[in-house]
Amino acid sequence: MDRRSFISKSLLATAACYGASSAGFSEVFANVNAKKKKNRIGIQLYSIRDFLSKDFEGSIKKLSDIGYAYAEAYGFNGEKFLTYTLKETSKMLNDVGMQLSGTHAGTGWLPEDVSDKAWDYWRKSADAMKAAGGRLIAQSFLPEAKTLDSLKKLADQFNKIGEICKKGGIKFGYHNHHSEFHPVEENIIYDVLLQNTDPKLVFFQMDMGHVVNGGGDIMSFVSKYPKRFLSWHASDFKKGQGYVPLGQGDVPYDQLFKLAKSYGVEDLTMEHESGQDRFKICEDNFKFLAKYSWTKK
């Protein structure tokens, strides 16, 4: 099952449970005694999903040994990430010298007349992330939107989610895949979401490889929407070949890292969803990112 299918099924199930139909980043973490690494490089744990169910602690220890300082969870259902609470996840990461940065989550498409109870998922998620010492929650699922009006309604819902999360002491964002760079009524979906969400409430976690795969121009978006992409998902895509290790595709990383500091990037998370020798790919991608001065603390 690919990641988009995984997210769609798990989040729609979460949405049903909660009655749905389909502060800036803090540098303070729960465990101040954790051994802090001197870099800003994180990893989306979906990159090693097949290993986590077999040996969670051993797998994150391997990531720590590679050098990753942060980890981002996925598929959070309001209660658990896999079989652990976010607080338990954070503790295990702290024990191997890493920190929990945030999680991917979401409830899918909410009805226009959603009841207050249906927002409890986000309130509970914000509280759980805050208690775990994390900084952010990013929705990583976008139901199919066939009209411009439906996209604008979704942006309004993102604003409300952002307000709930802000009150809970964390930040809410949206993580793209490749379909957001297709048009709806002659408007690019990603543009509509960016233009109709409040920058004070909603940040965007740009997944670089997915942008290229969707036909988007990364540097154009970064220039057009300053300070909106405060979190970067480092992936790479080679046209005609597919997703590839970092530096082997069409993502302009040299250009991006030249402006990372002035742009205000606050979170960097590597994600790679394929490949046989997964930990070797994670190691190679870490080394690629570590060569950029911005990644050093």
CATH code, domain with 47: 3.20.20.150
Longest alpha-carbon distance in the chain: 52
Bigger pLDDT: 32 or 68?
A: 68
How far is Cα 48 from Cα 44, in angstroms, rounded to an integer? 8
Burial tier of 81 (Cβ tally within 10 Å: 0-12, 13-18, 19+): buried
Bigger pLDDT: 271 or 108?
A: 271
What average pLDDT is seen over the chain? 88
pLDDT above 70: residue 129: yes
197-212 burial, b at 16+ Cβ within 10 Å, e below that, comes to beeebbbbbbbbbbbb
Instruction: Give the per-residue pLDDT at 108.
Output: 62
User: Mean per-residue pLDDT for 117-130?
Assistant: 90
Alpha carbon distances (Å) from 216 to 148, 202, 212, 228: 19, 20, 5, 16
Q: Is the C-alpha dihedral spanning 203, 138, 79, 130 positive or negative?
A: negative
- Considering only 35-39, 170-174, 235-239, which range has the smallest mean pLDDT? 35-39
User: pTM higher than 0.85 for the full model?
Assistant: yes
- Considering only 128-132, 137-141, 280-284, which range has the smallest mean pLDDT? 137-141
Of all residues in the chain, what percent carry a pLDDT higher than 70?
Answer: 85
User: Mean per-residue pLDDT for 72-84?
Assistant: 95
- Domain boundaries, position 29: 3-295
pLDDT above 70: residue 78: yes
User: pLDDT-derived band of residue 32, with 50, 70 and 90 as boundaries?
Assistant: very low
Q: Is the C-alpha dihedral spanning 144, 150, 153, 159 positive or negative?
A: positive
Instruction: Give the per-residue pLDDT at 266.
Output: 95
Instruction: Give the per-residue pLDDT at 28.
Output: 35
pLDDT above 90: residue 287: yes
Q: Are 174 and 184 in contact (CB under 8 A)?
A: no
Q: Are 203 and 173 in contact (CB under 8 A)?
A: yes
pLDDT above 80: residue 182: yes
The total number of structural domains that make up the chain: 1
Instruction: Give the per-residue pLDDT at 24.
Output: 43
Instruction: Give the per-residue pLDDT at 274.
Output: 79
User: Mean per-residue pLDDT for 76-84?
Assistant: 94
pLDDT above 90: residue 134: yes
Q: Tell me the pLDDT tens digit for each residue of 247-285.
A: 999 999 999 999 999 999 999 999 998 777 899 999 999
Instruction: Give the per-residue pLDDT at 14.
Output: 47
How far is Cα 28 from Cα 19, in angstroms, rounded to an integer? 33
